[in-house]
Structure formats: C-alpha cells, structure tokens
Copies of this chain bind each other. A is one copy, B any other.
Amino acid sequence: MTARSSLPFDPIAEARRQWEAHGWHRAAPGMALVTSVIRVQQLFLARIDAVLRPFDLSFARFELLALLSFSRRGALPLSKAGERLQVHPASITNVVNRLEADGLVRRTPHERDRRTTLVELLPAGRDVLAGAMAALNEEVFAHPGVSLPEARAIVDLLREIRLGAGDFEEGGSRLP
C-alpha cells in the first residue's frame, strides 16, 4: 500500500524534527529508524509483489518454495519450515494450503515418523520457482537501491537488531 507521489521534503526527517521540537530527544533517532525500516519494507514489498504477480505467488509462498528447493530431498517437516521462515504455525499452514491448492507442493506423512507432516516440492512448484527466482533476482535483488558495500552494511546493522530480539543464537551461525 504505497503511494507514488513524491514529497518536496523527506517526511521522516520532518518527523524527527517534530520529535526534537517536542523534547523527545532520546526517542527521535529510534523513531526515525523504525519508520525508515517500515517504509523501505513497503517499497521492497511493492516491487516484489509486482514481480511475483505473473507467477501468482506472494513473497511468503515464494520463500517456502525456495526453502524446500534448498533441502536435500525437496521436502521438509511443516513445523521446521515454519521455524526457518520465522512465521507462526497458522501462517505456514495458510501458505502450504494455498501452494497445495495450486499443485505446487503436497503434504505427505514422514516415512519413519507418521505424526510428522512433510511438505514436498512438486515438479510444477520447481518450475514456477525457477521463473520467479530468475525474475526476483534480476528485477529486485540485483538492484536493491544501494551499493554493494552499503547493502552489506545495512544487513550487518540489522543483524544486530535481529540477534538482540532473539531471532537466532550467535554461536550457532553456519557462516564463518
């Protein structure tokens, strides 16, 4: 839900000015940070939605297809997929329901543990993902609106916020 008309000034800088003018000095930088993140998320999601529309995918559905494609068997337990994508069980269920209705994934019982439900990527899902991946990589991810070093800097800074919020544990990083 982003409006496209350009303002003659930076609305977040203006909001910070208001915060300072009201004496909320300790809160002003955080307000600007939170508001900036929310706005840039809207801008990115609008671009992503536009690119994914021809593939009839939301970003959440794209993310699940990608995650399954990265797994060795093209299948993951439903609960594990939800944890990895950091979404509520209800959300992952909705995402899987929609992908299953579209014939892109299917639920199967785990061969050794029948209580575990696996989500399996189907060939049609792999095809749709390939097209969506190429389009997203080319049209959004390769052109995020900042330079490569700047993108890395933002990722590193935001990582601290994710870490502080308990998203993951530092010691267990799989990267050096």
User: Which residue numbers of A lie inside 8 Å of B, CB to CB?
Assistant: 1-18, 24, 26-34, 36-45, 48, 59, 66, 70, 82-88, 90-91, 133, 136-138, 140-146, 148, 150-155, 157-169, 172-175
Q: Is the CB of B34 within 8 A of A144?
A: yes
| Interface residues of chain A: helix, strand, loop or mixed (majority) | helix
B-side contacts of A164, CB under 8 Å: 145-146
A82 to B87, CA, bound (A): 30
Q: What is the CA–CA distance of A45 and B161 in the complex, to the nearest angstrom?
A: 13
Contact call B12/A34, Cβ cutoff below 8 A: no
Contact B172 A86 (CB under 8 A): no
Contact (Cβ within 8 A) A27 B138 = yes
Known A48-B34, A155-B29, A161-B40: A168·B1 in contact at CB below 8 Å: no
* Distance in Å: Cβ of A111 to nearest Cβ of chain B: 25
